[in-house]
Structure 1
Amino acid sequence: MKSIKTFRLAVGAVIVATSMTAWSQTSDTASAPGASAMAASGSAAPATGRKANRTLRRQVYSAIAQHKEISAGNISVIAKDGAVTLNGSVTDASQVGTVAEIAKGVPGVTSVTNKLTVQKPFGGM
């Protein structure tokens, strides 16, 4: 009975000791020399991640909106690291390629995946 209590106490102490060392670890990038200077000057590095993807998506939307002949209400744009995916529908078959070309012309776009379809009229014909 006494040995079981001692064993449980020892296991508990090991768990506490390992959890304390796990919390005290730091990342390698933060401890690298000059990392704090690079982090302080955010304008030195280009924007990456979610913010850059949102910015690129907005730029593609803006470029499409400049073409009044395109009904962009049913078009969604997904941007990830320069790769743009176009989803949704357009009113005319000629607009499918036009929208893709507009997206390719936006600075920062590296590739375009065009999943646009032509919207069928309400009668379905």
Structure 2
Amino acid sequence: MNRIQARALAIATLILAASSNAWSQPGQTASAPAGVPAASAAQSAAAPINARQADRALRRQVYAAIGKRKKISAGDISVVARGGAVTLNGTVTDASQINEVAEIAKSVPGVTSVTNKLTVQKPFGGA
């Protein structure tokens, strides 16, 4: 078991080393570009991670707000958040819930816009 873990760690290290060189621009090393201090490069690398964390947190807040409404089945709704813009995809059981879910999402602090792509779920009978 320890051998497998050691091999996996070694492979992951090799992949990480190879990918850091693959992403650098021609004529530059994998470290900070010429003329840019190392601290500045570290901050710019951390910015996308913080943005992703903020998007995930906003997504969870929208899900929680939708989940508080017991009559709405949030299991068939997906929420995508990017920089405050929220996109709703999936299905709801009633046409009135489409606008209701959008209003709930708009009421969450941090949401700047809502794109509503929700549809009404058709019954299994096909009617």
For residues 24-65 of structure 1, what are the alpha-carbon distances to aligned partners after superposition, in whole Å with 9 as ceiling and x for unaligned? 862425355xx98xx6xx9xx9x8411011000000000000
Q: How does 1:102-113 map to 2 (within 5 A)?
A: 102-113=104-115
- In the superposition, the TM-score normalised over structure 1's length comes to 0.67
SS at match of 1:99: helix
Aligned to 2:84: 82
Aligned to 1:114: 116
Q: How does 1:7-22 map to 2 (within 5 A)?
A: 22=28
What residue identity is the alignment partner of 2:38?
A: A
In structure 2, runs of 5+ residues without a counterpart are 1-26
In structure 1, runs of 5+ residues without a counterpart are 1-20
What is the aligned-residue identity percentage? 64
- Compute the RMSD of aligned alpha carbons: 2.5
CA gap of 1:69–1:29, structure 2 versus 1, over 3 A, is farther
- In the superposition, the TM-score normalised over structure 2's length comes to 0.66
SS at match of 1:23: coil
Aligned to 1:13: none
In the TM superposition, structure 1's runs of 4+ consecutive aligned residues that sit over 3 Å from their partners are: 29-32
Aligned to 1:56: 58
Decide which structure has the larger Cα Rg and report it.
1
1:76, CA displacement in angstroms?
Answer: 0.2
What residue identity is the alignment partner of 1:120?
A: K
C-alpha distance in structure 1 between counterparts of 2:55 and 2:108, whole Å:
13
Residues matched between the structures, number? 96
C-alpha distance in structure 1 between counterparts of 2:80 and 2:72, whole Å:
18
C-alpha distance in structure 1 between counterparts of 2:30 and 2:81, whole Å:
37
SS at match of 2:28: helix
What residue identity is the alignment partner of 1:93?
A: A
1:124, CA displacement in angstroms?
Answer: 1.1
Aligned to 2:38: 30
What residue identity is the alignment partner of 2:58?
A: L
